[in-house]
Amino acid sequence: MIPLPLVITGSSGRIGSALMEHLADLEPRGVDLADGIDLSDPAAAREAVAGCRSLVHLAANPDEFSGWDDLRLPNVDAVVHVLAAAAEVGVERVVFASSVHASGDWRPGGPETPPRPSNLYGATKAFGEAVVRMHTERGDFGAVCLRIGWYRDDVAGVAGLAREARPRAVTARDLAQLVRRALDSDVPFLIAYGVSGIDGCPYDIAEARAVLGYAPRDGGPPPGS
């Protein structure tokens, strides 16, 4: 059973908005910089997660081409403060939005693939995974880090990607299913790839299937192939 209440940070972003819709039955509370909530501020981070028992931490600068000055506060400081606050208030389950950039966007990978960032953005996501793992080793909460691929709202959106990129994609409903199953899991720590498992996918989702019960609905032949 998913521990509730649930908080989703980055709730007005593209992925956050989709998760707020797909997980509406869980009545998530959204937290976003657009609402004036700066999670790089420790006090704001504590207030944001107060009272919640499950946390999906999406909030970040998602621009893979950003430099350090634009990444440090949203992708490093905020992660440290949000996860520390989550441990402090008794959050039980955490899903951390990592990225395939943490292991190299075009490289094959599985749950045990070590960090091999392809850019500074990927390095901040690898750092976030490490902070999550530190907390799970302390027994603060259970967590799943999702190395999210090329997000698109639906299969039609995937078909709009370059042909070679389609196997690296994930649809909104597949990602929402994966997040839901991660929140409902009792696994202490897991890194899983957030992809739909389209034919030719370089990322191994066998453990996500086995441990989380993930069954992507939009896997199979690449759309438009």
- Return phi, psi of residue 189, to 5°: -160, 140
Which helix (H) or strand (E) element contains residue 135? helix 120-137
pLDDT by residue (tens digit) across 155-182?
999 999 999 999 999 999 999 999 999 9
What pLDDT score was predicted for residue 225?
65
Q: Which CATH superfamily hosts domain 6-212?
A: NAD(P)-binding Rossmann-like Domain (3.40.50.720)
Mean pLDDT of the chain: 95
What pLDDT score was predicted for residue 115? Answer: 87
Contacts of 139 (CB under 8 A, 6+ apart): none
Q: Show me where the domains of the chain are located.
A: 6-212
**CB neighbour list of residue 46: distance below 8 Å, 6 or more residues apart:** 81, 85, 88, 89
Take residue 52 and report the two structure tokens written for it: 């919640």
pLDDT, tens digit (0-9, with 9 covering 90-100), for 20-44: 999 999 999 999 998 999 999 999 9
What pairing do the DSSP bridges indicate for beta strands 142-148 and 189-194?
Answer: parallel
